[in-house]
Structure 1
Amino acid sequence: MLGLCCVLIMVALDQTVVGTAMPTVVADLRGFALYAWVGTSYLLTSVITVPIFGKLGDDHGRKPFVLAAIALFTAASMLCGLAQTMPQLVLARALQGVGGGMLVATTFACVPDLFPHTAERLRWQVMLSASFGLANAVGPSLGGFLTEYFGWRSVFFVNLPVGLISLACVWRFLPVIRQAARPPSRLDWQGAALIALFLGSLQLAVEWLPQHKPPLLLGLLAALSLAALLALIWWEKRSPNPLLPPSMLAHPGLAPLFGLSLLMGFGMFAVMYYAPLMFQAGFGLSPNQAGLLVTPLVVFITLGSMVNGRIVQRLRRPTRLLTLGLLMFALTAALLTRATPATAHWLIIANMMLGGLGLGLLMPNLTIFVQQLAPRQQLGVSTAMLQSTRMVGGMLGTAVMGVVVSRQFQHGVAAMLEARHGGAWQSWLADPQTLLNPAILAQFRLAAAAAQPEALLAATRLQLVDAIHLSQWLVAILLLPGLWLARKVPAIQLSSMISAEAPRHD
């Protein structure tokens, strides 16, 4: 369990420190066009690998894949820190996503392997929540501190010592547990290829939409994505060993939980990636200050998870916690649309606390309920599908909101400059890097010395804030269907074993 906690710390650190550092990264490498890709490349490769290694873990035991994932994730973190261009960083993050997907697919499923009784498992969840919270608590502030005083590359290098500790603990202590005595089945490589084709073409279509790519190319990508999805559904119904079992997708209890996970991932990543951008480029705060504002969100995810572990077994209808958590996080996204540079920081912090508590009621309960409802021999697949849907939601959240923010910001700046007869500054101000990179900012002030540069910069910041406000309104609205999904989750008893079938210990 100590080894698994170190793994969670490494993954959580990477998720939280990178978001705070990203505005500085794109300013240094001059690649705002690829801003969303730093996050979505990680999510894209993760979501493809999660179901594959969830299935492999069920068949072969999870320990070998946990070890391989730690080694790959740590090496890719080093490559991220050494990147010299944005395309290099995106490729390194994609490789890191493969390791992250393997970790997510195997680490969470190790816990019910070790502790099949629900009550015992919930007690150990406090330890996992504490380790996850430790990383979440220090992540945003650590990301801001390291970026400001040691450079953004140190944000990725911080994974190296944690990765080595994780590797040593897991290698020495984690047992190899297989869920069935049957021989390992053949992997559904056709299903894996169709998943990659579906998600990859969908991601490219969303990313290229605001970049004025040829309509024919966008149409072909959309058609390819739809065709791959239909082929995936057709194949998985006929495959003797499907990567995504159709019976699990049609399960009346599991299907709404997967839907909630998709919505949660969409909202969480849309907030965690674009709130720091608003605080730094829109409000003019330093990376360290922005990190301090985001920290309460992730700290209270942990506190909410710990509170949840104490109360979830005492409730007759524990599924109601899903509705409460969803409403709290949707309210946080809605309140972010009211934040301005003049808003008191304590109000922003209180709002982030509210959202963190909401996510703390959502995230652990989705895992607990899925593992309670799924057959034991499919624990890895069901847990992997839950994490996959969250990652797909996160991928869509960062990409779609990136399109919304980019288009709204560019249109707003163009209208603002036209009203001020300042069209000459369009090339400078239509790129948020001007607001983030001190060197570019100094050049702009010198070039526009006779055109009131501070007034232009203030108006540009306001346009960026308005664009991010629009994205957060959309997040709040898109989370509302989750209330209907939460009502579809059946009543769950949390006092029984996951399954009576005994696993094999090798």
Structure 2
Amino acid sequence: MSAPADRPWRESLLAMLGISLVLMLSALDQTVIGNALPSIVADLHGFELYAWVATGYLLASVVTIPIFGRLGDYYGRKPFVLVAAAVFTLASLLCAAAPSMLWLVIGRGAQGVGGGILIGTAFACVPELFPDTRQRLRWQMLLSAAFSVVNAAGPTLGGVLTETWGWRAVFYLNLPLGAVAFFCVWRYLPHFKPPQRLHGRLDWPGALLIALALGGLQLFVEWLPHADMALASLAIGSLALAAFAGLWWWERRIADPLLPPALFHDPALRCLFVLSVLSGAVMFVLLFYLPLLFQGGYGYSPKEAGLLITPLVLCITLGAIVNGRIVARLVNPNRLPQIGFALLLLTCLGLAACGRHASFGWMLALMFSGGLGFGFIFMNLTLFTQTLAARAHLGIATALLQSLRLVGGLLGTAIAGSLVSGLYRSAVTGLFSVHGAQAHVQAFSDPRLLLDAQARLVPLRQMAAAGHDAAMLLDGARDALVRSIDIGIGGCAVLALLALWHLRRLPTVDLHTATPRA
């Protein structure tokens, strides 16, 4: 069926209910798991794979988003949203049963496939249901309001589930939610078929080149800090560079490319894509390393850390709701993402400078500021892209924007993971060497001991028996972790500043356009 100009209110509400449920399924998993990660590492060990729990999900999503965004342009989006809900739910069961970190990473990759299909198709359903910009804004505010419940409850829920039933309950939670989401999409979301089938076949060589380029880039970043992996990292980096070059060459020469070059010829769209990468890097670094900072560095419990992170994710929704109320009334709507990146800059600088002894209230204020900043950024990037993109490229443009946000998250978390691991191990080695405790440094080279009170009892007793000040060394290890993560957050401040500078190049976006351009 094709989208009518005006749908009955009840049908629109039920259709948006289906879309919001599948998107909330992915959003809940991201906000809940971040606070459970330290406990997962303490149980399954394998701190070297900590970043891969995040980046494995992101890599799978990044590869699948543009593919299914394009398939949605070909065949309509509802079938793929249904497949995504099913894949995501089954992958959650795989994660819940994980006996090791490697198994969990594989399960997270499968979740990433489902999440990528969701992002590549579900977001593009909204402008099909509501072509008029003002009407679309009203429904997007409803979607944001629904997200507020999930975003607010996610971190705290993750902490409560982890402390009460263990971290596996975080993944079991997705099973009933996934079943409800699947039913609502199947029952209520209409199947909008494209007016005419696009010519040609899906650009599978382009999809393969994207996978090689992004996968190689991630491995290069992960392996680069390890001296024993120097040759392998250089080889994989060269492969990634060659894949990027091949992708650029190939997409310019085929009739129906996966990534249409016309998207990148528009300076405004190019600017939005760069901003999506930068904002994604900042968001994912904060979401995945703030729980480690609060629990391992500051000594908070998972529940306390969840309470701290709640304002960050809650205010993303609050900022989006406020944004939706005022953006269409502004002469220059670009001001709102400028305010968003300025708030992110202040948040990152405050986090990097406050140290271990900052008050709980001050940390809450910083989380509030960062959440509002993200709320002013993400909704506008999507809205601006759907306003500027040609209708024939609506699905792939929306999918590409979301995919590039995950590319930023992939690069950000991979670089932050390598940086934090390397700086922490170096600082702990130096600390223990200065105090003559080199024999015990191996136990503390993995920050999981800072998260698990039971696991560190034996090393602390051994150090005390050897005549060392165990409490002082433990406190020094916490300081080392805090300093390492603070440096990573300082890098996020640099990215926010770069985004503010780049945003000046975006022409004023005219939102008073009924539909995306033909």
Q: TM-score, normalised by structure 1?
A: 0.97
Whether the 8 Å contact between 1:322 and 1:365 is mirrored in structure 2 is yes
Per the TM alignment, residue 184 of structure 1 is displaced from its structure 2 partner at its CA by 5.6
Q: How does 1:403-422 map to 2 (within 5 A)?
A: 403-422=418-437
Q: 2:106 maps to what in 1?
A: 91
Q: Does 1:498 align with 2:511?
A: no
- Partner deviation per Cα, 1:66-113 (whole Å, 9 max, x = no partner): 000000000001110110000000000001100000000111000001
Q: 1:226 maps to what in 2?
A: 241
Q: Does 1:481 align with 2:493?
A: no
Determine the C-alpha separation between the residues in 2 that align with 1:405 and 1:146.
27
Per the TM alignment, residue 340 of structure 1 is displaced from its structure 2 partner at its CA by 2.9
Q: 1:311 maps to what in 2?
A: 326
Determine the C-alpha separation between the residues in 2 that align with 1:62 and 1:89.
29
Whether the 8 Å contact between 1:197 and 1:228 is mirrored in structure 2 is yes
Determine the C-alpha separation between the residues in 2 that align with 1:444 and 1:285.
21
Per the TM alignment, residue 55 of structure 1 is displaced from its structure 2 partner at its CA by 0.3
Determine the C-alpha separation between the residues in 1 that align with 2:229 and 2:509.
50
Determine the C-alpha separation between the residues in 1 that align with 2:205 and 2:332.
40
| Structure 2 spans left out of the alignment, 5+ residues | 1-15
Q: How does 1:165-180 map to 2 (within 5 A)?
A: 165-180=180-195
Per the TM alignment, residue 117 of structure 1 is displaced from its structure 2 partner at its CA by 0.3
Per the TM alignment, residue 390 of structure 1 is displaced from its structure 2 partner at its CA by 0.1
Determine the C-alpha separation between the residues in 2 that align with 1:21 and 1:78.
16
Aligned with residue 6 of structure 1, among 16, 21, 37: 21
Q: 2:11 maps to what in 1?
A: none
Per the TM alignment, residue 440 of structure 1 is displaced from its structure 2 partner at its CA by 1.7
Whether the 8 Å contact between 2:58 and 2:112 is mirrored in structure 1 is yes
Q: 1:434 maps to what in 2?
A: 449
Gap change, CA 1:184 and 1:292, over 3 Å in 2: farther
Q: 1:120 maps to what in 2?
A: 135
Q: How does 1:285-324 map to 2 (within 5 A)?
A: 285-324=300-339
Letter in 2 for 1:407: G
Q: Does 1:198 align with 2:223?
A: no
Q: How does 1:31-50 map to 2 (within 5 A)?
A: 31-50=46-65
Determine the C-alpha separation between the residues in 1 that align with 2:257 and 2:478.
50
Determine the C-alpha separation between the residues in 1 that align with 2:69 and 2:481.
40
Q: How does 1:244-393 map to 2 (within 5 A)?
A: 244-393=259-408
Whether the 8 Å contact between 2:390 and 2:517 is mirrored in structure 1 is no
Whether the 8 Å contact between 2:217 and 2:240 is mirrored in structure 1 is yes
Name the count of aligned residue pairs.
501
Q: How does 1:137-176 map to 2 (within 5 A)?
A: 137-176=152-191
- Partner deviation per Cα, 1:275-303 (whole Å, 9 max, x = no partner): 11010000111111111101100000010
Letter in 2 for 1:468: I
Per the TM alignment, residue 500 of structure 1 is displaced from its structure 2 partner at its CA by 7.4
Determine the C-alpha separation between the residues in 2 that align with 1:230 and 1:479.
28
Whether the 8 Å contact between 2:328 and 2:511 is mirrored in structure 1 is yes
Whether the 8 Å contact between 2:389 and 2:517 is mirrored in structure 1 is no
Per the TM alignment, residue 183 of structure 1 is displaced from its structure 2 partner at its CA by 4.7
Per the TM alignment, residue 48 of structure 1 is displaced from its structure 2 partner at its CA by 0.2
Q: 2:471 maps to what in 1?
A: 454
Per the TM alignment, residue 430 of structure 1 is displaced from its structure 2 partner at its CA by 1.3
Structure 2 counterpart SS, 1:494:
coil
Aligned with residue 468 of structure 1, among 485, 495, 516: 485
Per the TM alignment, residue 454 of structure 1 is displaced from its structure 2 partner at its CA by 1.2
Deviates more, 1:430-439 or 1:467-476: 430-439
Structure 2 counterpart SS, 1:342:
coil
Q: 1:18 maps to what in 2?
A: 33
Structure 2 counterpart SS, 1:316:
coil
Determine the C-alpha separation between the residues in 1 that align with 2:264 and 2:462.
58
Per the TM alignment, residue 214 of structure 1 is displaced from its structure 2 partner at its CA by 3.3
Per the TM alignment, residue 449 of structure 1 is displaced from its structure 2 partner at its CA by 2.2
Letter in 1 for 2:506: V
Per the TM alignment, residue 321 of structure 1 is displaced from its structure 2 partner at its CA by 1.1
Determine the C-alpha separation between the residues in 2 that align with 1:213 and 1:95.
29
Per the TM alignment, residue 342 of structure 1 is displaced from its structure 2 partner at its CA by 2.0
Aligned with residue 222 of structure 2, among 204, 207, 210: 207
Determine the C-alpha separation between the residues in 2 that align with 1:324 and 1:229.
33
Q: 2:76 maps to what in 1?
A: 61
Determine the C-alpha separation between the residues in 2 that align with 1:70 and 1:213.
41
Per the TM alignment, residue 162 of structure 1 is displaced from its structure 2 partner at its CA by 1.2
Per the TM alignment, residue 41 of structure 1 is displaced from its structure 2 partner at its CA by 0.3
Structure 2 counterpart SS, 1:337:
helix
- Partner deviation per Cα, 1:130-175 (whole Å, 9 max, x = no partner): 1222111000000011011110000111111111111111101111
Q: 1:504 maps to what in 2?
A: none
Deviates more, 1:233-242 or 1:182-191: 182-191
Determine the C-alpha separation between the residues in 1 that align with 2:246 and 2:129.
37
Determine the C-alpha separation between the residues in 2 that align with 1:211 and 1:295.
35
Determine the C-alpha separation between the residues in 2 that align with 1:32 and 1:78.
22
Letter in 2 for 1:59: Y
- Partner deviation per Cα, 1:415-447 (whole Å, 9 max, x = no partner): 111211111111011110111123321121222
Determine the C-alpha separation between the residues in 2 that align with 1:16 and 1:184.
40
| Structure 1 spans left out of the alignment, 5+ residues | 502-506
Structure 1 counterpart SS, 2:454:
helix
Per the TM alignment, residue 213 of structure 1 is displaced from its structure 2 partner at its CA by 3.0
Determine the C-alpha separation between the residues in 1 that align with 2:39 and 2:315.
26
Per the TM alignment, residue 202 of structure 1 is displaced from its structure 2 partner at its CA by 0.8
Whether the 8 Å contact between 2:223 and 2:230 is mirrored in structure 1 is no
Determine the C-alpha separation between the residues in 1 that align with 2:306 and 2:353.
19
Q: TM-score, normalised by structure 2?
A: 0.95
Determine the C-alpha separation between the residues in 2 that align with 1:178 and 1:384.
18
Q: How much identity, in percent, do the aligned residues show?
A: 49
- Partner deviation per Cα, 1:190-215 (whole Å, 9 max, x = no partner): 00000000011111111112233332
